[in-house]
A and B are shown apart, each in its own frame.
Chain A
Amino acid sequence: DAKTTQPTSMDCAEGRAANLPCNHSTISGNEYVYWYRQIHSQGPQYIIHGLKNNETNEMASLIITEDRKSSTLILPHATLRDTAVYYCIVLFKAAGNKLTFGGGTRVLVKP
């Protein structure tokens, strides 16, 4: 699976949009971009995923560049409960594929 690069940490003001970048320059054509987050002392939580089109759900939006070498997760109105480590992963949707989390981005939402 392709490797991803994310900033180590970022701060965000409560109520503002949080834009989390992810580089995945070695992504292959059949690999999906997934985002998970892990709030302190909780299990990882699925946020969103996409292949090449932009995606939106009730939690976030995912913007994937046309060349698919990078993406941005957007939390439209960050709340204090969004403070977590956010992980960007690329992988095939093959059964049995294991998830591997890199360092992720530690997001701190401040009042």
Chain B
Amino acid sequence: DAKTTQPNSMESNEEEPVHLPCNHSTISGTDYIHWYRQLPSQGPEYVIHGLTSNVNNRMASLAIAEDRKSSTLILHRATLRDAAVYYCILSSGGSNYKLTFGKGTLLTVNP
């Protein structure tokens, strides 16, 4: 399975935008990019996913590099509730339902 690399931790201030990076240099053409987040003592929560084009939803935006070797999750206005571990995950084209979670990025949001 293709691997992802994320910073261990990042810090942000409330009401400021947050850009969470993810490198996936060995991504193949049919791999989807998924982002999940896990709030303290809870199960993971879906954030967004994409294949080639940038994606927007009510929670966040996903910017995918043209060569697909990296992507960035954008939280437009961080709130205290966004403090969580964010996981960037690749899934194989034929098995998009099988996700492999890494350690993710711990996002701290300062008031």
- Specify whether A and B are partners: no
